Amino acid sequence: MRVSSVVVAGLFALPVAAIADGGAATLYGGYRAGGGFTDSVSGQSIDVKDSGAFSASLDFPLDAARQWQIFVSYQGSEFDAGTQSTTAGLNGQSMSVSYFHVGGTNFFEGEVGKGPYVVGGLGATLFKPSLSGYSSEWRPSVNIGIGYQWPLGERVALRFELRGYVTLVNSSGDLFCSGGCVVSIKGDTFTQGEALVGLSARF
């Protein structure tokens, strides 16, 4: 949680002048689902439980219809590793998933800040398990989604988004292992979907 908190705080500590003339800051609450790995010995699925997530973004103007975006999202969750004896010890162990992406938005109606838009980005995912013997891992990732921005006034709006995330894991069995791992975890890709609602303030 500390890494995500520092990044979010850093984003919103930027000078207002740097995001003037059409820039926006948005705080989101959301619900994220999906995502899992595999026990490389038994083949048992090791899932990350669906749970709430918190996100923040900064948008900077490109033209009348487009913005580029810095996006950070954090999910604090747990492993769901089934009932097999080889993996059951992971059940209930904390697992956080954070995304750090740079991308952009494109509004369909040609006016930034109003109506439907597409959004996307690329960057990195930070996986952070709490179990002893397992360490954090960074992996490359992308997100893509659709949204709708509903103005509440001249400078405040609500955002509704659906985003999908894909992380390239590419591990054959030593993922997270920093010594003394009870379960050997592997994975190719890690995919999640999320519904978000955000409050956006323009500068």
pLDDT of residue 90: 85
| Per-residue tokens: 138 | 């960074």
Q: What is the pLDDT of residues 134-150, one digit of tens each?
A: 889 999 999 999 999 99
Select from 51, 46, 72, 50 the least CA-distant residue to 169: 46
Dist CA 159 CA 156 (whole Å): 10
Place of tokens 């921005």: 149
Phi, psi of 10 (to 5 degrees): -65, -40
pLDDT of residue 9: 52
Which range is least confidently modeled, 1-15, 37-51, 56-70, 145-159? 1-15
Could you give the C-alpha distances from 69 to 43, 54, 136, in angstroms and in order? 39, 16, 26
Classified as helix, coil or strand, 84 is: coil
Residue 88 exposure: Cα atoms within 13 Å on the Cβ side? 3
User: Bridge-partner residues for 69, per DSSP?
Assistant: 59, 103
Residue 15 in this model has a pLDDT that exceeds 60: no
Dist CA 157 CA 59 (whole Å): 13
Summary mean pLDDT of the chain: 87
Residue 22 in this model has a pLDDT that exceeds 90: no
Q: What is the mean pLDDT of residues 57-62?
A: 96
Q: What is the mean pLDDT of residues 147-172?
A: 95
Domain ranges within the chain, ordered by starting residue:
2-202
Q: What is the pLDDT of residues 84-98, one digit of tens each?
A: 766 777 888 899 999
Residue 29 in this model has a pLDDT that exceeds 60: yes
Q: What is the pLDDT of residues 90-134, one digit of tens each?
A: 888 899 999 999 999 999 987 888 999 999 999 999 999 988 778
User: What percent of the chain shows pLDDT beyond 90?
Assistant: 61
User: Bridge-partner residues for 116, per DSSP?
Assistant: 148
Which of 34-43, 83-92, 153-162 is predicted most confidently?
153-162
User: According to DSSP H, which parts of the chain are helical?
Assistant: 2-12
DSSP annotation of 85 reads: T
Residue 23 in this model has a pLDDT that exceeds 80: yes
Select from 183, 165, 130 the least CA-distant residue to 30: 165
Dist CA 160 CA 109 (whole Å): 16
Residue 46 in this model has a pLDDT that exceeds 50: yes
pLDDT of residue 120: 97
For domain 2-202, give the fold.
Porin (2.40.160)
